[in-house]
Amino acid sequence: MIAKTVRTCFPIAAGAVAEKAEEINKLNVFPVPDGDTGTNMSLTLQSVVKELSALPVDADMEAIAGAITHGSLMGARGNSGVITSQILRGVAEGLVGATEPATSAHIAVALRRAVKVAFQAVRKPVEGTILTVLRDISTKADECERKRMTAEEALDAIVVEAYQSVARTPDLLPVLKENGVVDSGAFGFAIFLENFVAAALGRASNIEDFSATFDTDADSAKAGALDRVKIEANDDWEGSEYRYCNEFLFKAEKHFDEDKALQFLASMGDCELLVGAYPDYKVHVHSNTPNLVLEHMLQFGQVYEVFIHNMDLEVAERTAKIHADQEAAAEPAKPLGFVAVAAGSGEAEILKSLGVDVVVSGGQTMNPSTADLLDAVAKVNAEAVIILPNNGNIRMAAEAAANACEDKRVVVVPTKTVPQAFSALFAVMPDAGVDDVVEAMCDAYSEVRDGEVTRAVRDSSASDGSPIHSGDVMGIIAGSIDIVGSDVLQVTVDCINRMMDEEEGDSLTILAGEELSDDAFQEILDAIEEAQPDLEIDSHRGEQPLYPVIFSIE
């Protein structure tokens, strides 16, 4: 169960960091304000996701730990990515051999191992960074173990502690306080941890419990961290002593001396890191002479996957982005803006093309919190904002956000699916008042009949009482499991045929999930056209997880 939880929840948490990468980038001022921490952390995590996806279904924790260690090492990018890789390695190693069920003791052991591995990798640890947050949550986990808390209680406690620790980082690192930010790597780590815990505890499937037992403390802690953020452009930054960020993979030959290699790297610049184990290493250093770094290391082995970044140019790019955001914020507020939730990148692109200002990542398996939605609303430069939750489980969080927002009017149009949101947005009248727009949107989406196709993750029963076994393909019509089969194509066609028999429609909007190939999607479209030749089909790549097909009929 521990192995399955890690493997299932890791991609969800990695996706959350990817969603917030640009925000994390803007916080980045230490060790240099090059604006790439969020990007580097996300790339590191995605490398792990790719490695995990290649494992067999029944892989145990030892195999998963190996994939996490290897994937994060091979994919580590930048100072933040390399340190993150060592934290992940330590946690994974600490969970190998853990017995079921998971306890607060297992969590404490894993985090203690992470502290040991991560701090060993950094020659000169600095307070007020991701390492500080790691140590603080490890201390909190030890406290939970002593108090004999449950694993769930311990996980909740360390998420709160993570954000509280992030909020303290400016008090520990002067450059953060000077720039009005919390540490970017620490913030990214807290985001990963929060979303991993939410997924691990299954709160995505029970929004009431999620709001009651998790959001209050964790969102308060997150708000405390964000209250300390007032991002400024770094026009007056004088520049680091070193211009280039050098990172590469290194396969050592015999007689390689790690200590001497680190001493050499330190002599060439700063932020030197050499992580891994013989013969495979990741090397990172800030230097003015990347050629000399490579020439030296080539004496002792092979160099590959070389990345050399000009940090001066990256700082200029970060500053330009912040100036652009500040100029946009200074523009007069428009009358009405939109926030919508989407699970897939394709869904997000379509929503933005229809006028949505901010798309929040989330869905059936990853419900955004009230704080996430409030954060999205704050980004919309509008006098009033309409939220489209696009999932029944997200409606309560959306309404809580609407009630909590004090500086602008926020209204929820309670769409349950992304196709409903498409229809609602088509009904928007540009010059109408908010109440008239909401009424028109509600009328439009109420005419939409929607369906979803997914696979059962456990034994259950359909709406007619017939059995459903784990792995079966389920056709869900208006929230009811009405079709069960073994083939995505056939279940999709059967759902559409049943809906057309109940009430004929003119048009079908259909979205392909991330697991469905283009060829398989085309086969489904061809089968639908053959079965329903008079139905106009509007197809798109939605890239939503877990649901190979989502569709609606109007």
Q: What is the pLDDT of residue 204?
A: 46
Does the N-terminal peptide bond of residue 332 adopt cis geometry, omega within 30 degrees of 0?
A: no
Amino acid symbol at 234: N
Q: Share the mean pLDDT of the chain.
A: 85
Same domain, 410 and 373: yes
Total domains in the fold of the chain: 4
pLDDT of 20-39, one tens digit each? Answer: 888 887 776 555 555 578 88
CATH code of residue 468? 3.30.1180
> Is the separation of the CB atoms in 159 and 140 below 8 Å?
no
Nearest alpha carbon to residue 194 among 165, 155, 223, 224: 155
Same domain, 305 and 441: no
Q: Is residue 237 part of a domain?
A: no
Q: Is residue 233 part of a domain?
A: no
Domain boundary among 314, 348, 373: 314
Q: Is residue 250 part of a domain?
A: yes
pTM of the shown model: 0.54
pLDDT of 473-504, one tens digit each? Answer: 999 998 899 999 999 999 999 999 999 999 99
Same domain, 193 and 299: no
Per-residue HEC secondary structure of 235-269 comes to CCCCCCCCCEEEEEEEEECCCCCHHHHHHHHHHHE
pLDDT of 252-262, one tens digit each? Answer: 887 788 888 88
What is the residue range of 146's domain? 2-226
> Using CA of residue 409, residue 385, residue 427, residue 553, what is the dihedral sign?
negative
Q: Determine the average pLDDT of the residues in 71-96.
A: 87
Contacts of 77 (CB under 8 A, 6+ apart): 36, 39, 40, 43, 44, 247, 307
Q: Is residue 322 part of a domain?
A: no
Same domain, 212 and 254: no
pLDDT of 92-108, one tens digit each? Answer: 999 998 888 889 999 99
Same domain, 442 and 455: no
> Is the separation of the CB atoms in 217 and 406 below 8 Å?
no
Q: Is residue 203 part of a domain?
A: yes
Q: Is residue 263 part of a domain?
A: yes
